[in-house]
């Protein structure tokens, strides 16, 4: 590998990052360190720079999840994905801004302030992996990793105009990812091209003894992802697209459909009868899991501690002043949902609905190879537009959360721009552990220059 080339690239991206500092993409950089580590190895990611979301651990680096409660905390260990990236020769050049604890759809819920969209700085990047998507979109890093619980890789990828994959649940180790909702969380790659995305995906995927939920299922090879099985039948759940989706997004979906028809694929209508319950189900289960996962941030064990006279004040004041409003809202909702008397009405019921949603996808994938959906109902909205209306904000995830509930893999691909010049994203969903079908299809779409 050409050492000088990597050095020059890191310098150039650093200068560009300084010029674009107002976009608030990185919370911290480690260009020299990243370069040094990268040069110790060589592999699939040699010569590439990678940005990592601030909820993924790197030994001896701060890890804050964009939260005050983790200020001053430094990670004592490294996440498996980071280890794998470094072992493949990748240079980890910085940690990216995000919604606090990955809760949000706009990357505005951050102690560092909102991330701004490189396509229009008055607009949000989407969230919660907004910094990772923007870093790739603005050319500040070749590749990035984010985490996706209900859409947090796919929706910012759509808003910023890049590729973003949520792998099958269990495909990528969560060891070293700060848990938000453990039964949904999945780390995923972001890139400007499908080939780049594939290299990062095959690097980070695969079983890890340190994560008991990581699947022991063979990972597709680079070749299988580049040139995998050609899909024959595509399903579109038209009834979900009748209301509330921007027209320009539906037009791009049609462009993709026409391409498939011309390539000899069948497009069929499918139904996902329980998908209309996905938002409610997700926000019950994700908040319940979050309330339990975030109980550990008590002012004693990690980061920030509020000065107090006694122990109960210490807990109370550290949590009251350490968490931001959206995180507190979720902890309260989740605690309520799990409380005696309400548990069965909400949590148990939502688990049952999750099973039905999962079954919808299992049934549909008996018939089709891929499903198409928009990634989000709109393009990037203005900063501040939805921040005081959480329910409205939650609807930004209407097309991503059903996939997260089922655990199937899905990618958001850039599909042109709307009349304001804002990127449009389309979502391609595949069957469990069939990332290679999605990725090789996306490569054909990219080569066809449809958008
Ligand atoms: N926007 C969704 C939420 O707020 C998803 C976030 C995520 O995927 N981390 O929960």
Domain chopping of the chain, boundaries: 1-451
Mean pLDDT of the region 102-119: 98
Residue given tokens 């599909």 in the structure block: 415
CB of 126 within 6 A of ligand 1: the answer is: no
Helix/strand/coil for 269:
strand
* Closest atom of ligand 1 relative to the 152 alpha carbon: 8
Q: What is the pLDDT of residues 259-313, one digit of tens each?
A: 999 999 999 999 999 999 999 999 999 999 999 999 999 999 999 999 999 999 9
Give the mutation target among 125, 152, 390 for probing the ligand 1 site: most ligand atoms within 8 A of CB: 152
Mean pLDDT of the region 106-134: 98
Contact 208, 344 (CB under 8 A): no
Give the Cα separation of 143 and 48 in Å (integer): 7
Q: Is 128 a catalytic residue?
A: yes
pLDDT category at 22 given cuts 50, 70, 90 is very high
The tokens for 260 are 């498939």
Centre of ligand 1 from the C-alpha of residue 170, in Å? 18
Centre of ligand 1 from the C-alpha of residue 310, in Å? 35
Which of 135, 126, 122 lies closest to 92 in space, CA to CA? 135
Q: Is 291 a catalytic residue?
A: no
Contact 335, 329 (CB under 8 A): no
Residue given tokens 């690239």 in the structure block: 9
Q: What is the pLDDT of residues 69-85, one digit of tens each?
A: 999 999 999 999 999 99
**Exactly one of 67, 110, 129, 152 is catalytic; which is it?**
152
Angle ∠(279,276,231) on CA atoms, nearest 5 = 100
- The DSSP result for 218-248, as a single string, is PPPPHHHHHS-PPP-EEEE-GGGGSSS--HH
Q: How many CB atoms lie within 10 A of CB 195?
A: 15
Give the Cα separation of 47 and 141 in Å (integer): 11
CA-based radius of gyration for the chain: 21
Q: For the chain, what percent of residues have pLDDT higher than 70?
A: 100
pLDDT exceeds cutoff 70 at 1: no
Q: What is the pLDDT of residues 355-384, one digit of tens each?
A: 999 999 999 999 999 999 999 999 999 999
**Exactly one of 128, 129, 214, 318 is catalytic; which is it?**
128
Contact 299, 305 (CB under 8 A): yes
pLDDT at 261: 98
CB of 128 within 6 A of ligand 1: the answer is: yes
Centre of ligand 1 from the C-alpha of residue 150, in Å? 5
Give the Cα separation of 240 and 220 in Å (integer): 31
CB of 286 within 6 A of ligand 1: the answer is: yes
- Output the pTM of the full model: 0.98
CB of 105 within 6 A of ligand 1: the answer is: yes
Helix, strand, coil shares of the chain as percentages rounded to 5? 45, 15, 40
Centre of ligand 1 from the C-alpha of residue 336, in Å? 19
Q: Is 53 a catalytic residue?
A: yes
Centre of ligand 1 from the C-alpha of residue 171, in Å? 19
CB of 65 within 6 A of ligand 1: the answer is: no
The whole-angstrom distance between residue 185's C-alpha and the CA centroid of its chain comes to: 9
CB of 104 within 6 A of ligand 1: the answer is: yes
CB of 237 within 6 A of ligand 1: the answer is: no
Residue 404 falls in which region: left (phi positive, over 0), alpha (psi -120 to 50) or beta: alpha
Centre of ligand 1 from the C-alpha of residue 401, in Å? 8
Give the mutation target among 99, 188, 293 for probing the ligand 1 site: most ligand atoms within 8 A of CB: 99
Q: How far is CA 94 from CA 82, 294, 422, in A?
A: 12, 25, 26
Q: How many CB atoms lie within 10 A of CB 373?
A: 25
Give the Cα separation of 3 and 64 in Å (integer): 32
Contact 370, 430 (CB under 8 A): yes
Give the Cα separation of 347 and 367 in Å (integer): 31
Please tell me the residue having the least CA distance from ligand 1 atom 4.
104
Q: How many CB atoms lie within 10 A of CB 177?
A: 23
Give the Cα separation of 434 and 375 in Å (integer): 19
Laid out side by side, the sheet with 423-430 consists of 26-29, 91-96, 49-53, 143-148, 186-191, 163-166, 410-417, 423-430, 370-374, 233-236, 266-269
- The DSSP result for 308-333, as a single string, is -SSHHHHHHHHHHHHS-HHHHHHHHH
The tokens for 153 are 């890789």
Q: What is the pLDDT of residues 178-217, one digit of tens each?
A: 999 999 999 999 999 999 999 999 999 999 999 999 999 9
Angle ∠(404,278,365) on CA atoms, nearest 5 = 60
* Closest atom of ligand 1 relative to the 180 alpha carbon: 9
Angle ∠(263,358,333) on CA atoms, nearest 5 = 125
pLDDT exceeds cutoff 90 at 391: no
**Exactly one of 9, 53, 68, 166 is catalytic; which is it?**
53
Give the Cα separation of 52 and 65 in Å (integer): 11
Average pLDDT, the chain: 97
Residue given tokens 């959906």 in the structure block: 373
Give the mutation target among 99, 147, 149 for probing the ligand 1 site: most ligand atoms within 8 A of CB: 149
Give the mutation target among 56, 155, 286, 389 for probing the ligand 1 site: most ligand atoms within 8 A of CB: 286
Helix/strand/coil for 74:
strand
Q: Give the domain 1-451 fold.
A: Amidase signature (AS) enzymes (3.90.1300)
CB of 151 within 6 A of ligand 1: the answer is: yes
Mean pLDDT of the region 2-9: 90
* Closest atom of ligand 1 relative to the 396 alpha carbon: 1
CB of 152 within 6 A of ligand 1: the answer is: yes
Helix/strand/coil for 128:
coil
Centre of ligand 1 from the C-alpha of residue 446, in Å? 27
DSSP 188: E
Centre of ligand 1 from the C-alpha of residue 172, in Å? 18
* Closest atom of ligand 1 relative to the 283 alpha carbon: 10
* CA dihedral over 405, 172, 80, 98, signed as positive or negative: negative
Which of 77, 280, 56 lies closest to 148 in space, CA to CA? 56
The tokens for 418 are 């709307």
pLDDT at 96: 98
- With 0-12 / 13-18 / 19 or more C-beta atoms within 10 angstroms meaning exposed / middle / buried, residue 329 is middle
């Amino acid at each position: 590998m050409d050492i000088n080339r990597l050095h020059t690239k890191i310098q150039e991206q650093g200068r560009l990052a300084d010029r674009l500092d107002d976009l608030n993409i990185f919370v911290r950089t480690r260009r020299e360190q990243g370069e040094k580590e990268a040069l110790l190895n060589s592999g699939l990611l040699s010569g590439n720079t990678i940005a990592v979301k601030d909820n993924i651990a790197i030994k001896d680096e701060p890890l804050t999840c964009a939260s005050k409660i983790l200020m001053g905390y430094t990670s004592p260990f490294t996440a498996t994905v980071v280890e794998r990236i470094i072992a493949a020769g990748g240079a980890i050049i910085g940690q990216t801004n995000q919604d606090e604890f990955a809760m949000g759809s706009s990357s505005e819920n951050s102690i560092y302030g909102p991330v701004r969209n490189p396509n229009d700085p008055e607009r949000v990047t989407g969230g919660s992996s907004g910094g990772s998507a923007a870093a790739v979109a603005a050319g500040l890093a070749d590749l990035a990793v984010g985490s996706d619980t209900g859409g947090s890789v796919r929706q910012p990828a759509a808003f910023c105009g890049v590729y973003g994959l949520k792998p099958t649940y269990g495909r990528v180790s969560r060891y070293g990812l700060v848990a938000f909702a453990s039964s949904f969380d999945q780390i995923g790659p972001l890139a400007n091209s499908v080939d780049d995305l594939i290299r990062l995906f095959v690097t980070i995927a695969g079983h890890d003894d340190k994560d008991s939920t990581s699947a022991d299922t063979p990972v597709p090879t680079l070749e299988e992802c580049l040139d995998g099985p050609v899909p024959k039948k595509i399903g579109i759940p038209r009834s979900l697209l009748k209301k509330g989706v921007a027209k320009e997004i539906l037009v791009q979906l049609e462009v993709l459909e026409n391409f498939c028809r011309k390539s000899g694929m069948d497009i069929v209508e499918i139904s996902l009868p329980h998908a209309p319950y996905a938002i409610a189900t997700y926000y019950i289960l994700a908040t319940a899991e979050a309330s339990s996962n975030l109980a550990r941030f008590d002012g004693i064990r990690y980061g920030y501690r509020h000065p107090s006279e006694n122990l109960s004040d210490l807990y109370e004041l550290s949590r009251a002043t350490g968490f931001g409003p959206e995180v507190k809202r979720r902890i309260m909702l989740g605690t309520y949902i799990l409380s005696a008397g309400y548990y069965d009405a909400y949590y148990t019921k939502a688990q049952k609905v999750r099973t039905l949603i999962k079954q919808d996808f299992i049934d549909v994938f008996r018939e089709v190879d891929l499903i198409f959906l928009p990634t989000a109902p709109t393009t990037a909205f203005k900063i501040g537009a939805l921040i005081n209306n959480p329910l409205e904000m939650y609807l930004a995830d209407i097309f991503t959360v059903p996939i997260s509930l089922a655990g199937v893999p899905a990618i958001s691909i850039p599909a042109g721009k709307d009349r304001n010049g804002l990127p449009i994203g389309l979502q391609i969903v595949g069957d469990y552990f069939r990332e290679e079908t999605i990725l090789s299809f996306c490569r054909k779409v990219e080569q066809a220059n449809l958008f």
